[in-house]
């Protein structure tokens, strides 16, 4: 029987559901909509190196999430880690900026899955216009919010079912690709593909796309108060999901570009369907398109589930608007947060896919991913007695390498995306100053140190 914790949440998510939640978010639209993008970014099948480097960065960063998530399993994930670490120096500024950036960045991630789903619907609706696709995306977003408007028990079960469909999808794509794999097609590198200047420039863009494909290995960390035995379950789910998805992605992507010439693949809107059309004809194309649509839905369903917990936790701490702190009186989940995040996600569906990916990466890197790396080091020094069921392997080496990797991704996102991230962050800083002034918080009042996860036994 699931337990209810001190915050009113029900601990109903075990290791299987946690891993399924992460993998469903990771294996959604990403591999099926970004293969053409990464092939274009790197100019050929050397894109495989982008996938490999992206997997390495995900694992390095996963070790950061694993230690923080196991030690501080709170609802909101990154918000909790930044709050606990930066309270000593800048009060509530850094967690506020994280929530501020998340209001746009997280719905952006979810909207890419909806956009990818619409791209595959074109196979059944060839006359679909650009406006039709956007309206369909909005309708699917509304349906997703409706399906998430329920207790965590039924959501966990549905997540596992969606995960099963995702596994079936990638297995069929892998089988189709391997059965017709041609190494001459897969490794038909263009002239000067590995010229240092060209390769390194392309690797930055390729790495940005590939790490986007891995996004979601941390989703369960946002549900810390709803996870059974979180000290062990969270790090295991994070690491297992990265390992499984890295293997699946590499094999699947190689299978596709080893069957579909990369010059053709990078121009395709629905490369998964194209693969099956070439291998198994129209019946195979119909089946895989339906399954890819299923997989895309699984990604933004689980992603929105985790994202809806972020503004809630900030509001509970008094760092966001009060209505977000409410739990549904009967179903016990943050319903206001879910509705607002779903609404922003629907708006994001009206933008271009590549622009969304670049912008969300630029907006997420500094405050969230680099911020967490710094937070882990701060907490090692400030809270040495904090219970850490999982400790980062080979610390601080993964921290240093992850920092370098994320800095490279930020640079590779392009000036337009970087400028948007800077402007939005500066606006958030100004909003924070007004909020802090009204609340008499730092820098207009004393810093309040509340080490929420240290106990008398530490």
Q: Which DSSP category does 322 fall into?
A: G
- Confidence band of 7 (pLDDT split at 50, 70, 90): low
Structure tokens at 274: 């194209």
Q: Into how many domains does the chain fold?
A: 1
Please indicate, yes or no, if residue 158 is contained in any of the structural domains: yes
Greatest mean pLDDT range, 72-86, 217-231, 244-258, 390-404: 390-404
396 contact partners, CB below 8 Å, separation of at least 6 = 377
> C-alpha angle with apex 269: 199 to 38, nearest 5 degrees?
15
Quick one: the chain helix, strand, coil %, rounded to 5?
75, 0, 25
Of 1-5, 156-160, 224-228, 429-433, the poorest mean pLDDT is in 1-5
> Which domain CATH number covers 119?
1.20.1740.10
Please indicate, yes or no, if residue 458 is contained in any of the structural domains: no
Question: How far is it, in rounded angstroms, from Cα 257 to Cα 188?
Answer: 10
Query: Model confidence over 166-190: pLDDT tens digits?
Result: 788 888 989 999 999 999 999 999 9
Residue 316: per-residue pLDDT? 81
Q: Is residue 271 within 8 Å of 89, Cβ to Cβ?
A: no
Structure tokens at 104: 């746009």
Residue 419 φ/ψ, nearest 5 degrees = -65, -40
**Which residue, among 254, 306, 238, 280, has the nearest Cα to 64 in the 3D structure?**
238
Query: Model confidence over 221-233: pLDDT tens digits?
Result: 988 888 989 999 9
- Between 148 and 421, whose confidence is greater? 421
Please indicate, yes or no, if residue 167 is contained in any of the structural domains: yes
- Confidence band of 154 (pLDDT split at 50, 70, 90): low
Question: How far is it, in rounded angstroms, from Cα 36 to Cα 267?
Answer: 6
**CB-based burial, 140-179: b 16+ in 10 Å, e otherwise:** bbeebbeebeeebeebbebbbebbebbbebbebbbebbee
> C-alpha angle with apex 98: 87 to 23, nearest 5 degrees?
115
- Confidence band of 46 (pLDDT split at 50, 70, 90): very high
> Which residues, in sequence order, are bridge partners of residue 3?
11
Residue 456: per-residue pLDDT? 45
Residue 317: per-residue pLDDT? 75
Please indicate, yes or no, if residue 457 is contained in any of the structural domains: no
Question: How far is it, in rounded angstroms, from Cα 220 to Cα 22?
Answer: 6
Q: Which domain holds residue 260?
A: 3-439
Please indicate, yes or no, if residue 452 is contained in any of the structural domains: no
Residue 28: per-residue pLDDT? 65
Please indicate, yes or no, if residue 327 is contained in any of the structural domains: yes
Please indicate, yes or no, if residue 456 is contained in any of the structural domains: no
Of 3-7, 204-208, 214-218, 387-391, the poorest mean pLDDT is in 3-7
**Which residue, among 286, 273, 285, 349, has the nearest Cα to 35 in the 3D structure?**
273
Q: Is residue 201 within 8 Å of 62, Cβ to Cβ?
A: no
Q: Is pLDDT of 5 > 80? A: no
Please indicate, yes or no, if residue 454 is contained in any of the structural domains: no
CB atoms inside a 10 Å sphere around CB 195: 11
Q: Is pLDDT of 253 > 80? A: yes
Q: Across the chain, what does the average pLDDT equal?
A: 87
Query: Model confidence over 48-72: pLDDT tens digits?
Result: 898 899 999 999 999 999 999 999 9
């Amino acid at each position: 029987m699931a337990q209810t914790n001190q915050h009113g949440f029900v601990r109903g998510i075990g290791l299987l559901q946690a891993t399924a939640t992460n993998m469903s978010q990771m294996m959604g639209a990403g591999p099926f909509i970004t293969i053409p993008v990464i092939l274009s970014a790197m100019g050929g099948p050397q894109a495989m190196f982008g996938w490999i480097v992206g997997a390495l960065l995900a694992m390095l960063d996963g070790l950061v999430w694993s230690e923080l998530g196991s030690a501080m399993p709170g609802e909101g994930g990154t918000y909790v880690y930044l709050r606990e670490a930066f309270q000593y120096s800048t009060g509530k500024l850094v967690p506020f900026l994280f929530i501020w950036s998340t209001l746009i960045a997280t719905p952006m991630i979810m909207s890419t899955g909806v956009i990818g789903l619409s791209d595959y619907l074109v196979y059944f609706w060839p006359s679909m216009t650009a406006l039709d696709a956007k309206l369909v995306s909005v309708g699917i977003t509304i349906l997703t919010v409706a399906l998430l408007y329920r207790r965590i028990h039924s959501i966990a079960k549905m997540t596992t079912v969606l995960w099963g469909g995702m596994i079936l999808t990638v297995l069929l794509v892998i089988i189709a690709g391997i059965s017709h794999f041609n190494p001459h097609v897969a490794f038909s590198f263009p002239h000067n593909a590995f010229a240092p200047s060209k390769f390194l420039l392309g690797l930055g863009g390729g790495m940005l796309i590939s790490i986007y494909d891995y996004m979601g290995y941390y989703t369960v960390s946002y549900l810390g108060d709803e996870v059974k035995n979180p000290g062990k379950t969270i790090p295991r789910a994070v690491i297992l999901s990265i390992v499984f998805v890295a293997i699946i992605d590499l094999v699947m992507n190689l299978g596709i570009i080893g069957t579909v010439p990369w010059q053709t693949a990078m121009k395709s809107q629905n490369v998964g369907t194209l693969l099956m059309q070439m291998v198994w004809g129209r019946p195979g194309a119909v089946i895989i398109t339906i399954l890819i649509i299923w997989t895309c839905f699984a990604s933004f369903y689980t992603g929105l589930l985790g994202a809806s917990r972020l503004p809630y936790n900030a509001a509970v701490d008094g760092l966001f608007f009060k209505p977000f702190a409410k739990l549904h009186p009967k179903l016990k989940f943050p319903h206001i947060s879910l509705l607002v995040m779903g609404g922003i996600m629907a708006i994001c569906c009206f933008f271009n896919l590549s622009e969304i990916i670049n912008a969300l990466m630029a907006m997420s890197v500094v405050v969230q991913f680099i911020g967490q790396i710094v937070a882990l080091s701060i907490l090692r020094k400030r809270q040495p007695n904090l219970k850490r069921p999982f400790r980062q392997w080979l610390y601080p080496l993964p921290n240093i390498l992850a920092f370098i990797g994320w800095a490279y991704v930020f640079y590779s996102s392009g000036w337009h995306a970087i400028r948007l991230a800077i402007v939005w962050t500066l606006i958030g800083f100004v909003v924070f100053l007004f909020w802090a002034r009204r609340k008499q918080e730092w820098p207009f009042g004393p810093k309040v140190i509340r080490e929420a996860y240290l106990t008398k036994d530490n």
